[in-house]
């Protein structure tokens, strides 16, 4: 329990802290004033001042905040600061850089976490091992069995499940020859000390054009053999440079998948009841904490990607909305009318509140269903 609590605090607090650190670093690099940089929210437990900025450790450790000088035009300049350090008086492109630095830092952090995972534990590569065979499928007709490892297709070695699927898709339904490795069955049930052996066999089959579900629940047509993965993986080890590249590829894949998720949600392909909030995140982090550090780091990278993309959405109040305002000012050489800004902010706050209420409702409903509190009595 304590491990889960510590993991939740470190993951959620750390991700939001790095987000704010991005804003802070770029603001200071451009010479803008910062009155406060706090790790955590609420009452300040510790505080110290360096230069004009107060650094604080606050009571609630889930995140942090950066208070820029003159974030809005109606704010007074605090004592000790000059007009040159006021955020709202800076050119639009400088304000854009400061605002974009937060979500960009989350994406960079995700890459660093993926780099660390690839370097310390390796990259998991799903093996082309059969976990299940569909009834009346080409694989069943060819005699493929669960546990078979696909070594090659038409003499072309395949070392991963994705490589195998790519070869089948590229074949457009032509008959292929598979080289399989089938584990031998021990002669006795208690022969656990027996060295594992396997037999190589050749089978021929013709993939069938079938419909399958995508990760988002959509139907898509594909050439399929009628097998499912066993879930077995091998860990591909990397040196420092290769780990960085592997981490970058993993980050790019997560970015693409997460962005597609947001798009599918807007298109109503993904139902609204799949939206999760803080309760779900706490549950996921707590579960991964019980299973080990690699799972926590991988989940932290994924949440960091989500946080970055969410903040890039063009919704007023979020960083993306402010970026849109800055771009408008850069293109048309004048800021949006103050009334337009005020009303857009109100709309943004309303949208954000509705999203948080939806996510919290979904989280609570999932907890209720998982505990069977509305189940029928006996």
pTM to 2 decimals?
0.85
Instruction: Name the least confident of 35-44, 147-156, 278-287.
Output: 278-287
Structure tokens at 7: 């993991």
Which class is domain 125-235?
mainly beta
Which whole number is the average pLDDT over 116-136? 95
Among residues 130, 127, 123, which one has the least CA distance to residue 163? Answer: 127
Residue 349 backbone phi and psi in degrees, to 5: -65, -45
The answer to whether residues 93 and 330 touch, using CB atoms and an 8 Å cutoff, is yes
Specify the pLDDT at position 337.
87
Distance of CA 83 to the CA centre of its chain: 40
Specify the pLDDT at position 375.
54
Q: Give the residue extent of every domain in the chain.
A: 2-30+90-122+240-370, 125-235
The answer to whether residues 270 and 217 touch, using CB atoms and an 8 Å cutoff, is yes
**Residue 327: pLDDT over 70:** yes
pLDDT band at 274 (very low <50, low <70, confident <90, very high): confident
Residue 44 backbone phi and psi in degrees, to 5: -85, 125
Structure tokens at 278: 């803080």
**Residue 89: pLDDT over 90:** yes
Q: How far is CA 339 from CA 49, 246, 342, 344, in A?
A: 37, 48, 5, 8
Which whole number is the average pLDDT over 155-173? 93
Which sequence positions are flagged as catalytic?
20
**Residue 377: pLDDT over 80:** no
């Amino acid at each position: 329990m304590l491990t889960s609590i510590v993991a939740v605090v470190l993951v959620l607090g750390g991700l939001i802290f790095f987000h704010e650190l991005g804003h802070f670093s770029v603001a200071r690099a451009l010479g803008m004033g910062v009155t406060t940089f706090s790790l955590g929210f609420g009452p300040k437990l510790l505080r110290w001042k360096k230069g004009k900025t107060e650094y604080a450790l606050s009571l609630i450790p889930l995140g942090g905040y950066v208070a820029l000088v003159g974030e809005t035009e109606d704010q007074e300049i605090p004592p000790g600061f000059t007009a040159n350090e006021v955020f709202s008086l800076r050119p639009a492109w400088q304000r854009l850089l400061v605002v974009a630095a937060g979500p960009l830092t989350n994406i960079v952090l995700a890459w660093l976490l993926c780099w660390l995972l690839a370097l310390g534990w390796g990259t998991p590569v799903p093996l082309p091992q059969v976990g299940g065979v569909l009834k009346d499928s080409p694989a069943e007709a060819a005699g493929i069995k669960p546990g078979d490892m696909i070594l090659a297709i038409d003499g072309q070695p395949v070392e991963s499940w994705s490589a195998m699927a790519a070869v089948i898709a590229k074949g457009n339904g032509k008959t292929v020859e598979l080289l399989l490795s089938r584990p031998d069955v021990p002669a006795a049930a208690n022969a656990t000390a027996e060295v594992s052996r396997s037999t190589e066999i050749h089978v021929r089959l013709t993939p069938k054009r079938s419909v399958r579900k995508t990760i988002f629940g959509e139907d898509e047509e594909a050439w399929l053999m009628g097998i499912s993965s066993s879930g077995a993986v091998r860990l591909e080890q990397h040196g420092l440079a290769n780990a960085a590249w592997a981490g970058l590829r993993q980050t790019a894949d997560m970015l693409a998948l997460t962005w597609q998720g947001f798009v599918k949600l807007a298109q109503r392909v993904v139902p609204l009841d799949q939206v999760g909030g803080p309760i779900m995140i706490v549950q996921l982090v707590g579960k991964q904490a019980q299973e080990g550090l690699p799972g926590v780091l991988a989940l932290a990278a994924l949440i960091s990607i989500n946080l970055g993309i969410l903040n890039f959405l063009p919704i007023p109040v979020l960083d993306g909305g402010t970026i849109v305002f800055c771009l408008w000012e850069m293109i048309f050489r004048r800021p949006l009318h103050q009334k337009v800004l005020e009303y857009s902010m109100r709309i943004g706050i309303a949208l954000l509140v509705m999203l948080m209420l939806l996510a919290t409702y979904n989280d609570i409903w999932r907890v209720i269903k998982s505990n069977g509190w509305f189940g029928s009595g006996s």
